[in-house]
Amino acid sequence: MRTAWLFGAGGRNFVDTMLALGSDRDEVEVVTDQVGSPTWSAHLAEGLVELAERRGDIGIFHAAGTGACSWYELAVEVFDRGGVRCRVLPTTSERYSRPAPRPAYSVLASERDEVPVLPTWQEGVAAYLAEKTVIAG
């Protein structure tokens, strides 16, 4: 199963990075010119279990959070849903040098009918933040 822009418990990810920065800063700059499909790891896990239980489908599958957004839009969603009072300023990739170039458009979708359809990336953000609140509380 190929996926994209994964976030969830157990490792570094963009959502947690934004939450940490948002708690320390009044504003952050986030790129608007890279678009992808954010995917909550728990939604991906459910899709993997669904696929494994079928026991007949083989090959490479693409599954990611339904829909697409820029890193900027993802940061805005994280702050809005997380109640974080931090302003997100739009910027471009050109302003940040990276060790490896990042694609401008990395939305992941599948043309195969048998691929599990994951919930929207917004639902993933909401569920992940709710899970973090329960664990922290």
Given this model, what pLDDT does residue 30 score? 97
pLDDT surpassing 70 at residue 137? no
Letter for the amino acid at 43?
Answer: H
| Mean pLDDT of all residues belonging to the chain | 93
Average pLDDT for residues 59-84, to the nearest whole number?
96
Per DSSP bridges, beta strands 35-36 and 39-40 are: unpaired
Higher-confidence residue of 101 and 121: namely 121
pLDDT surpassing 90 at residue 57? no
The correct answer on CATH 3.30.465.10 for the domain covering 6-132 is no
pLDDT surpassing 90 at residue 135? no
Q: What percent of the chain has pLDDT over 90?
A: 74
